[in-house]
Amino acid sequence: MRHVDFSPLYRSTVGFDRLFTMLDGLGQPEQAQAYPPYNIERTGENTYRITMAVAGFDETELTIEAHAHVLTVKGEKSEDEKTQQTEYLYRGIAKRAFERRFQLADHVEVKSASLKNGLLHIDLLRNIPEAMKPRKIAIAAEAVNAPKAIEAHVN
């Protein structure tokens, strides 16, 4: 695979470092973590939903943190006394900890999170500030019937 060197662009641009880091990361093979499986849906013009299959976890064992354009979901299963005393003949249900990270675009914030039937739903909202939204500029037309005045001094 080719590696693109973005260092000349770092020297001549300001504020695009996050973009270049993301582009640089695309060329590298991702650490293939398949657990837990998830979906990312677009539920409206500015709303999104991440759904993760976290069967066996409850609300106290999951943490969701949004910081600096990164959404992190962690799950840590606590060992209870009943499980420690049980002798398993076959153990197919994993109790492994996980950590999933999602890159969030600018102005995307976490609206809510809920856990139902083993699915963790995280609702996201892209909240664009009014100053950044496109605005329509009205064009004023001159009145057609208005008399035109020519500057003249009357003595």
Q: Per residue of the chain (155 residues), give pLDDT as tens.
A: 456 666 666 666 666 666 666 666 665 555 556 788 899 999 988 899 999 998 888 889 999 999 888 899 999 987 765 556 778 888 777 677 889 998 888 888 899 999 999 899 999 998 888 787 788 888 887 766 666 667 766 66
In a domain, 138, yes or no: no
In a domain, 46, yes or no: yes
Residues belonging to the chain = 155
- Looking at the structure, do residues 97 and 117 belong to the same domain, yes or no? yes
- CA–CA distance, 46 with 44 (Å, rounded to integer): 5
- Judge whether 61 and 75 are in contact, CB under 8 Å: yes
- Looking at the structure, do residues 45 and 25 belong to the same domain, yes or no? no
In a domain, 142, yes or no: no
2 lies in which domain range? Answer: 1-30
In a domain, 116, yes or no: yes
- Looking at the structure, do residues 9 and 42 belong to the same domain, yes or no? no
- Looking at the structure, do residues 62 and 123 belong to the same domain, yes or no? yes
Output the DSSP codes for 107-147: TEEEEEEEEETTEEEEEEEE---GGGS--PPPPPPPPSSSP
In a domain, 95, yes or no: yes
Measured on CA atoms in the order 38, 91, 96, 109, is the torsion positive or negative? positive
pTM over 0.85: no
- CA–CA distance, 113 with 40 (Å, rounded to integer): 14
In a domain, 136, yes or no: no
pLDDT given for residue 113 in this prediction: 94
- Looking at the structure, do residues 22 and 64 belong to the same domain, yes or no? no
Domain total for the chain?
Answer: 2
**Burial of 50 (C-beta count, 10 Å sphere; 0-12/13-18/19+):** buried
In a domain, 43, yes or no: yes
- Looking at the structure, do residues 43 and 22 belong to the same domain, yes or no? no
